[in-house]
Structures are given as structure tokens and as C-alpha cells.
Amino acid sequence: MKLINTTLLLATFIFTAIASNASAATDPWYVYASKVNGYRMCAQASPGSGWYKASPNGYSTKGACNYYER
């Protein structure tokens, strides 16, 4: 009985670890441009009302976003 409880506990722990890693995706990066001077920057969230989203799609990494930053 002790072996069954230990095995069940271990299986539950492994399943929980796998399930939590599967849903741990990051938010996409976007290029935002300033409405004042056109300066562009990468961010995952809008920097404020003085900015607009200059990229129609998001990028998975900041490095990929920085490539389109001009």
C-alpha cells in the first residue's frame, strides 16, 4: 500500500510539472512608434497613449522584434 501511495504521489508531481511547463508561453513582442517623433521601440505591452503599434504581428523574441525596429 505504501508503494502505491508513493507511486501515485510521484505520478501526480510529474504530471503537474509537465502541465505547468506546457502553458508557460510568453507574450509576443511588438514594435511601437512614438506619435511625437517616430522613435520606435520593442515592448510586450503598450508604453502609453503617445505610442501606436507599428507592427501588425507580434514576434516571439525581443531579438526578432529589434530587427524590425527602425
Domain ranges within the chain, ordered by starting residue: 30-67
pTM listed for this prediction: 0.58
In single-letter form, the type of residue at position 34 comes to: S
| Per-residue pLDDT reduced to its tens digit, 47-70 | 999 999 988 888 888 777 776 555
- Are 31 and 55 in contact, with CB atoms under 8 Å apart? yes
Residue 18 clears pLDDT 80, i.e. is over it: no
CA distance 54 to 41: 9
- What is the pLDDT confidence band of residue 27, given thresholds at 50, 70 and 90? confident
Q: What is the pLDDT of residue 63?
A: 78
